Structure 1
Amino acid sequence: MSRSKISVIGAGNVGATLAQFLAIRELGDVYLFDVVQGVPEGKALDIQEGAPHWGYDSNVVGFTTPGQEAYKNLEGSDVVVVTAGLARKPGMSRDDLLGKNVEIMLDVGRNIKKYAPDAVIVVVSNPADIMAYAIQKITGARPERIMGLGGSLDSARFRTFIAKELNVSVEDVNAFVIGGHGDDMVPFIRYSSVAGIPITSLLSKEKIDAIVKRTRFGGGEIVDLLKTGSAYYAPGVSILAMVESIVQDKKRVIPCAAYLSGKHAEHYGASGIFIGVPIKIGKEGVEEIYDIDFTQEERELWNKTVQSVKNNCQKVDSFLSGKL
C-alpha cells in the first residue's frame, strides 16, 4: 500500500513544525515547499535525519519554488496544506495581513489548480477563513475540499486555559470555538464542560469571561512574547489533527472554517463564505456541517463575526478582480 502524499507550502516555523509532526506520526511522505532558496531542502533534510531516533520511515523532501518547476512536485498530493504568508508582528491583527497574503495565495492557488486539482486543501495562512475563501476563488475547487484552520487551534487554546484554571487534565475538557479566526471569534460556553460537567457549574462568570478574553487574544499574546514571529507549536498540532482525520478518514468533528451554502447558510445566516463551524472531517474533506442553536446573546456575537468575515471577503473580491 502506497503512502499518502502530503504537501506543505511554506517552510516557515508553522510549515516546518507541521512537517516534522506529520513525519513522526507517519501519516505519509511529506513534500515541503518555500520561496526562500535552500530553506525547504535544508529543513526537510534536518527532519529526515531525525528518523532513526524517532523511528519513522516517512520520506521528507524540500523544494525551492522561485519559478514554477518546483511546483510540479505537487502532482499526486492527497492533501495540500498552505502555510505560506507573512507572519504577524507585534501590533498587527490577523486582518492586517490580508492584502499581502492574498497576493501570495494567487501564486500558490494557481499552482495547486495546475498540479494538484484533486487534493484536499487545508488553509492556514492568516486570516485563515479569508484565505480559504481566496484559495477557493483562485483554484475553483469544490468548497467541501477546502477547510481553514481556526477553530481547531482556538478550541485547543480554550481547552488549555480551562484546564489550567481548574487544575484538571485537558483530556477531560470538552470545549470549542466557532466564528472567524480573529479577535471576534465565539467561544461556546454553553457547550463547554469537564467530564460532562458544565464549566458554568465550576467557574464564576468573571473567570469564564477572563478565559474567553485570553482565548480571543491568544495568538496576539504569543506574538507579543516572541517579538519576532507568531505561534507554531500549537498551530502545528492543530493542523496535524485535521490532516490526520483526512488521511486516515477518521471522521473527527473539529471546528474549522468551512464553506456555508444551502440549509447551513440559512441556519447560520451566512452564505458564500468560509467561517468556523463544527464539521466532520474525512477523506473527502468537509463531509458534514453541524448546525448548532444560539441564544440571543450568542447570535449577536455570531452576527458580528459573520459581518467581519463578509467584509474581508469583499476585500478579497476587489483584490482578485481582473486577476483570475
Structure 2
Amino acid sequence: MDHDSESVKRILSKYKFRDLATEELQKVNRVHPDVNTVTGTYTFSDGSQKDLLKLVINIPVKYKGCSYNLPIQLWLLDSFPFTPPICLLRPTATMMIREGKHVDARGRIYLPALHNWDYPKSSVTALLVEMIAKFEEDPPLAMKSEGDGKDPNELLAFVSHINLIEGGKQPEQSVYKVSVIGGGDLGIAAVLSIMAKGCVNKLVLIDIPQSSTKGGTMDLEIFSLPNVEVSKDLAASAGSRVVVFTMNAWSEEQSYVSVVQTNVDMYRQMVPVVAQLSPAAVLVVASQPVEIMTHVAWRQSCFSPTHVIGVGCNLDSQRLAHILNIALVTSSTSKQAWVIGELSDNKVAVWGNPRASGDKQTVLYPVSSSTKPLIDRAFEILKGKGQRSWSVGLSIADITYSILTDQRKTHSITTLAQGWGGIGSEVFLSLPCVLGANGSTRLAGVTLSPEYDAKLRESATSLSNFFVQLRI
C-alpha cells in the first residue's frame, strides 16, 4: 500500500481528518499487507462525482475447508474515519453478484458494522472481519454461464443456499409485496396509506385473533380493494419485501408491564415465523411501546439491525420539518431538523443537511444555543399534535415507500442505538437513518448539548431497566 504516491497524498490532503485517516490506513496495512490504496472518481447516486481514496483488497472466505478470495472495494469519503466506507463487490468477468441480505444487485455491501459505525470504536479491520464472517454464511457471488456446454446454473464452489426449480430458473419473488400484521385501526390506516403511495403490487393484511386491535378487516373484505388480500394465516405474508407489525394488546385491567408483556408474547409467537417466511424482508414495528417492541422483534427475528426498525419519531420529525419550514419560515437555512430519542417527553432534536442523498451521507449537527429557541418553539407547537391511527399510518407508508423504491432518504426511525453518541447499553431509540432497499444505515453520532445528552441517556437507562423486567 503506497501512501507516499503523489496521487494518494494529493487526495488525502483534502480529507477533513487526514491525520486520523492516515492512522486508520496504516492499521489496515499492518493486518492486510496486500491491500492496495489507490485514487479514483466516485459517482454518487445523484450523478455528482468526487475524487476519493479507495482500498482494493481480496478477502479470504472459507467454505468446506477451502479458501476463496472475494474482490472488494472500499471507498473512503472525505469525512473518513468518522463516516463508514462505501463497500462494493468487484466481481471478475466470470462472476455475477448474488443479491441477498448483505449485498444489493449493484454490489453495494450492507453490514451491521456499517450501520453501527461509531469511530474510534469502529475500524476497517473490524469491518473486514465481520464481512468475512457474513459472506461465509451467505456467499455473495455466483459463476456466470460460459455458453460452452457446461451447466449454466453451476455456482462457484463456495456459493450456497440458492434453490433452483425445474428449467434452471430461480423462484419468482414478489419484489413489491408488503404485509401488514394487525387488523385494527392502525393496520387499516397503514394498508390504505401504503396503497395510496402506489408502490406495491400486492398487500396482505393479516388479522391476528390475539390482538385487541380488531374491527376493520371485515369492511376491507366487503369493499375489496385491488391487490389487497385479507388473511388470518401468517403464511400469506411469505416473500414480503416489508412486513409491518401494528398489533397491540391493551387492557385497562392490567398493569403497564403486564400489557407490554402480552405484546411481547405475541411477538415471540409471530416474529420467528415471519422471519422464516420472508428472510430478506425489512421488519417495520409500529406496536407500542415502539422502542421495546422493535428491540423484541430484533431479538426474535435474528435479523441484522439494518432490517428491523420502528416507526419511532418519523412522524414527529416530518411535522417538525413542516413547522420549521412553513410555519416558522426557516426553509432558507437549508437545514432540516430530526426528532431523536424516545417517543416521550425526553425526545430531542438534531440538525442536518436534507439535500444529502444517496451515498453522500447527511452530517448531523447539534442544536446550538442560537437555534435552540427555534426548536423549543417548534416543540411547543408539536405538543398539540396527537399520534392518531391515520397519521401514524401515513408515517408507515412514508417509511415503506423509501424502502421499496430505494429512496436513500433520511428518516428518524427506531434502531439499535448502542454505540451512537456514547450509548453503551443495548437499547433501541429513534435516530436518523438512511432508508433504502437494503434496510437502514444509521448516521454517525454527534455530540449533543449537556441538556439533550442527559435526556437521551435517561431514556436509554429507563428503556434498558424496563426491558430486563420482560420475559423475552
| Fold agreement, TM-score > 0.5 | yes
Equivalent position of 1:84 in the other structure: 247
Equivalent position of 2:44 in the other structure: none
Question: What is the distance in 1 between the residues matched to 2:197 and 2:243?
Answer: 17
The change in CA–CA distance for 1:3 and 1:269 in structure 2 (over 3 A counts) is closer
Question: What is the distance in 1 between the residues matched to 2:287 and 2:431?
Answer: 18
Question: What is the distance in 2 between the residues matched to 1:61 and 1:271?
Answer: 40
Q: 1:277 aligns with which of 422, 425, 431?
A: 431
Q: After superposition, what is the alpha-carbon deviation per residue over 1:176-230, rounded to whole angstroms, capped at 9, x for unaligned?
A: 1101122322234x6699xxxx99999994x854642564x56xx64xxxxxxx6
Deviates more, 1:16-25 or 1:281-290: 281-290
Q: Is the 8 A contact 1:253 1:279 kept in 2?
A: yes
Question: What is the distance in 2 between the residues matched to 1:293 and 1:124?
Answer: 29
Equivalent position of 1:42 in the other structure: 219
Aligned residue-pair number: 281
- Give, in angstroms, the shift of residue 307 of structure 1: 1.3
* Aligned residue type for 2:414: A
Unaligned 5+ segments in structure 1 are 49-57, 65-69, 223-229
Alignment of 1:295 with 2:449, yes or no, is yes
TM-score by length of 1: 0.74
Equivalent position of 1:33 in the other structure: 206
- Give, in angstroms, the shift of residue 9 of structure 1: 0.3
- The secondary structure found in structure 2 opposite 1:81 is strand
- Give, in angstroms, the shift of residue 156 of structure 1: 2.7
Q: Is the 8 A contact 2:367 2:449 kept in 1?
A: no
Question: What is the distance in 1 between the residues matched to 2:207 and 2:240?
Answer: 16
- Give, in angstroms, the shift of residue 259 of structure 1: 1.4
Unaligned 5+ segments in structure 2 are 1-172, 355-365
The change in CA–CA distance for 1:45 and 1:176 in structure 2 (over 3 A counts) is farther
- The secondary structure found in structure 2 opposite 1:19 is helix
Q: 1:112 aligns with which of 270, 274, 277?
A: 274
Q: Is the 8 A contact 2:420 2:444 kept in 1?
A: no
- Give, in angstroms, the shift of residue 72 of structure 1: 0.9
Q: After superposition, what is the alpha-carbon deviation per residue over 1:28-73, rounded to whole angstroms, capped at 9, x for unaligned?
A: 111001125885353255361xxxxxxxxx5011012xxxxx1111
Equivalent position of 2:178 in the other structure: 6
- Give, in angstroms, the shift of residue 137 of structure 1: 1.3
RMSD: 3.5
Equivalent position of 1:233 in the other structure: 390
Equivalent position of 1:72 in the other structure: 235
The change in CA–CA distance for 1:284 and 1:88 in structure 2 (over 3 A counts) is farther
Q: After superposition, what is the alpha-carbon deviation per residue over 1:260-297, rounded to whole angstroms, capped at 9, x for unaligned?
A: 34xxx063323422211110111111134332221222
Q: 1:250 aligns with which of 387, 407, 415?
A: 407
Equivalent position of 2:169 in the other structure: none
Q: 1:212 aligns with which of 358, 372, 379?
A: 379
- The secondary structure found in structure 2 opposite 1:294 is coil
Q: Is the 8 A contact 1:129 1:149 kept in 2?
A: no
Equivalent position of 2:296 in the other structure: 134
Larger-gyration structure (1/2): 2
Bigger relative contact order, structure 1 or 2 (CA pairs below 8 A, ≥6 apart): 1
Q: Is the 8 A contact 2:174 2:240 kept in 1?
A: no
* Aligned residue type for 1:73: A
The change in CA–CA distance for 1:167 and 1:104 in structure 2 (over 3 A counts) is same
TM-score by length of 2: 0.52
- Give, in angstroms, the shift of residue 103 of structure 1: 2.0
Question: What is the distance in 2 between the residues matched to 1:277 and 1:306?
Answer: 12
Equivalent position of 1:103 in the other structure: 265
Alignment of 1:145 with 2:313, yes or no, is no
Q: Is the 8 A contact 1:98 1:127 kept in 2?
A: yes
Question: What is the distance in 2 between the residues matched to 1:268 and 1:149?
Answer: 23
- The secondary structure found in structure 1 opposite 2:223 is helix
Alignment of 1:268 with 2:430, yes or no, is no
* Aligned residue type for 2:234: Y
The change in CA–CA distance for 1:270 and 1:303 in structure 2 (over 3 A counts) is same
The change in CA–CA distance for 1:203 and 1:187 in structure 2 (over 3 A counts) is closer
Q: Is the 8 A contact 2:417 2:431 kept in 1?
A: no
Q: Is the 8 A contact 1:94 1:127 kept in 2?
A: no
Question: What is the distance in 2 between the residues matched to 1:63 and 1:249?
Answer: 28
Calculate percent identity across the aligned residue pairs.
Answer: 23
Equivalent position of 1:53 in the other structure: none
Question: What is the distance in 1 between the residues matched to 2:248 and 2:388?
Answer: 14
Deviates more, 1:11-20 or 1:36-45: 36-45
